[in-house]
Amino acid sequence: MAGAKANILVVDDELSMRELLDVMLSREGYKVACAEDGTQALSMLGEMKFDLVLCDVRLGDMSGIDVLKAAKKANHDTVVIMISAYATTEVAVAAMNEGAYDFVPKPLDSAELKQTIIRSLSLRTVEQERQALDNSLEDHLYFERIVGSHPKMKHIYNMVRQVAQTRTRILITGESGTGKELIARAIHEQSDRANHPFVVVNCGGIPENLMESELFGHRKGSFTGAVMDKKGLFTIAHKGTIFLDEIGELSMPLQVKLLRVVQDGAFKQVGGTEEISVDARILSATNKNLSQEVIDGNFREDLFYRLNVIELNVPPLRERKSDIRVLAQFFVEKFSKDLGKEVIKLSSYALDMLEKYSFPGNVRELENLIERSVALSTTNIILPESLSLAVHKRRWIEGVPGRRFDLEEVTKGVALDEILADIERAYLKKALESSGGNKNRAAELLGISFRSFRYRLDKLNVPWDEEE
């Protein structure tokens, strides 16, 4: 019952927090009741059925965990979300083990809390959520290895289906970590060459003096160290597909030799005199702007046009954020199995943090982050504090555009007053946002007086309505 008639019980010993949540949730159409301590909450749970309980961990007369246990005992289907300004992994794990849906830290982010409530009411149990995620993974999984249902990805899947059965040369473009090799593999596996080799060449990872030999092979004695004949990767890829990753890294002399293979399907080994013909489909990829490289004189124009018959551009993860949730769950299940762990999901608050992160390293960065989190996790649910510190740093200074704070910079010299002012300004703005613009409540959230709050707003030039 995620609709407007859901009954929610707010349990918090702070009057300002109860009032804030009451107003915020009532505006969303929920029926809200409030309890000021655990005793009153237990009484209300015995008298009335609630769809969701939002409970602080620290209450005046008992632990919020006791309220959680009572709520679950009264009605197993009741969703319980714990909140606390003193979140610890131990308390969060204890709450999850007792059946809490999630653990949300204070100060509350109203938008995130609303989304967590909506999701939790639609998915009452961990098993239901896992089943929903499993179903979602089935809907999002294409070509065995690629996960995502964003419209930009669906366009790529359609293009892959169209070009796979042709011999057309494809240039796959996109930032590092977006999955260009997976797209190339999908084209190969959807083609009539699927039962033949798929050969990957990292053009930026092989020393230039060895690249010609790697691509085309060499004859014994053709250079120092050539103690026997060697087949090149083009020969190995015969009847199959060769994928030239980071093609923009090839030197001009090698571009000339590659052009010959693209045009005629033939080449000579290093030190050889006979021409070798191959039937290998050429797919290539780059994270560079090859059109600009041509203009700058770094890449041959004739080779560019022969490789770029059709271009597939893979979007960065920040442009397909709707895929982050299912990708994260996919990696959780993958690495839990690989590492012999029993991690089953990420908490919804951890997922919200991921969705706010820009992921400059794209899907590869998300994959590494989840692998690290699963490997280090001591619980079956990944909590926000289990994620990369880089995500946390970006979150708590979210209100400071373009700024990153690193303690290591102290050795180079920093402007401490400016840094502290930026952080204070971000907290003031966040408190105003969380309180719906109510400055009295915002001051309470920050633990300062209203007069001090007004002084800081003026000092730091934070906009506010003086008439309130």
Which positions ≥6 away from 221 have C-beta within 8 Å? Answer: 271
Is 93 part of a structural domain of the chain?
A: yes
Q: How far is CA 121 from CA 80, 106, 227, 327, 378, in A?
A: 10, 21, 69, 22, 27
Q: How far is CA 445 from CA 437, 449, 460, in A?
A: 12, 10, 18
332 and 414 belong to one structural domain: no
Is 64 part of a structural domain of the chain?
A: yes
Is 73 part of a structural domain of the chain?
A: yes
Report pLDDT for 401. 46
Residue that is written with structure tokens 């796959």 in the block: 172
Peptide bond connecting 316 to the previous residue in cis, omega within 30 degrees of 0: no
**Structure token pair of residue 292:** 């600009």
157 and 94 belong to one structural domain: no
**Structure token pair of residue 255:** 């571009």
Maximum C-alpha span of the chain: 92
Report pLDDT for 138. 52
Report pLDDT for 301. 95
Query: Which residues, in sequence order, are bridge partners of residue 292?
Result: none
Q: What is the CATH number of the domain that holds 30?
A: 3.40.50.2300
Report pLDDT for 296. 93
Q: What is the CATH number of the domain that holds 386?
A: 1.10.8.60
Question: Which contacts (CB < 8 Å, 24+ apart) does range 69-78 have?
Answer: 69/98, 70/41, 70/42, 70/45, 71/9, 71/45, 72/98, 72/99, 74/45, 74/46, 74/49, 75/49, 75/50, 77/124, 77/125, 78/49, 78/50, 78/51, 78/52, 78/53
Report pLDDT for 391. 46
The burial class, CB within 10 Å (0-12 / 13-18 / 19+), for 441 is buried
* CA-based nearest residue to 195, from 235, 163, 237, 240: 240
Vertex 134, ends 130 and 136: CA angle to 5°? Answer: 115
324 and 309 belong to one structural domain: no
**Structure token pair of residue 75:** 């009605």
Is 186 part of a structural domain of the chain?
A: yes
Q: How far apart are CA 107 and CA 23, in angstroms?
A: 16
Is 129 part of a structural domain of the chain?
A: no
Is 205 part of a structural domain of the chain?
A: yes
Domain hosting 42: range is 7-124
Report pLDDT for 145. 75
Report pLDDT for 70. 93
Is 278 part of a structural domain of the chain?
A: yes
178 and 304 belong to one structural domain: yes
259 and 355 belong to one structural domain: no
The answer to whether 382 touches 341, Cβ cutoff 8 Å, is no
- Among residues 369, 396, 423, which one ends one of the domains? 396
Q: How far apart are CA 208 and CA 42, in angstroms?
A: 73
292 and 432 belong to one structural domain: no
Buried residues in 153-167 as b, exposed as e (16+ CB within 10 A): beebbebbeebbeee
- Among residues 346, 362, 396, which one ends one of the domains? 396
28 and 104 belong to one structural domain: yes
Report pLDDT for 468. 45
Report pLDDT for 388. 60
Q: How far apart are CA 435 and CA 449, in angstroms?
A: 15
Q: pLDDT tens track of the chain, all 468 residues?
A: 444 578 999 999 889 899 999 999 999 899 999 999 999 999 999 999 999 999 998 888 888 999 999 999 998 889 999 888 765 667 777 787 788 888 887 778 788 888 888 888 876 544 555 555 555 545 545 455 788 888 899 889 889 989 998 989 999 999 999 999 999 999 999 999 999 999 999 998 888 888 999 999 888 877 877 778 889 999 999 999 999 999 999 999 999 999 999 999 999 888 888 889 999 999 999 999 999 999 999 999 999 999 999 999 999 999 999 899 889 988 998 999 999 988 888 887 788 888 888 888 899 999 999 999 898 887 778 877 777 644 444 444 444 444 445 555 666 677 787 778 888 888 888 888 888 888 888 888 888 888 888 888 888 888 776 544
Report pLDDT for 144. 53
Which positions ≥6 away from 146 have C-beta within 8 Å? Answer: 153, 157, 179, 182, 183, 186
pTM: 0.66
Q: What is the CATH number of the domain that holds 298?
A: 3.40.50.300
231 and 117 belong to one structural domain: no
* Count of beta carbons in the 10 Å neighbourhood of residue 55: 28
Report pLDDT for 61. 83
159 and 245 belong to one structural domain: yes
* Count of beta carbons in the 10 Å neighbourhood of residue 254: 16
Is 437 part of a structural domain of the chain?
A: yes
47 and 170 belong to one structural domain: no
Q: Which residue type sits at 90? A: E
Report pLDDT for 379. 75
- Among residues 253, 282, 313, which one ends one of the domains? 313
- Structural domain count, the chain: 4
228 and 97 belong to one structural domain: no
382 and 417 belong to one structural domain: no
Q: Which residue type sits at 463? A: P
Report pLDDT for 256. 93
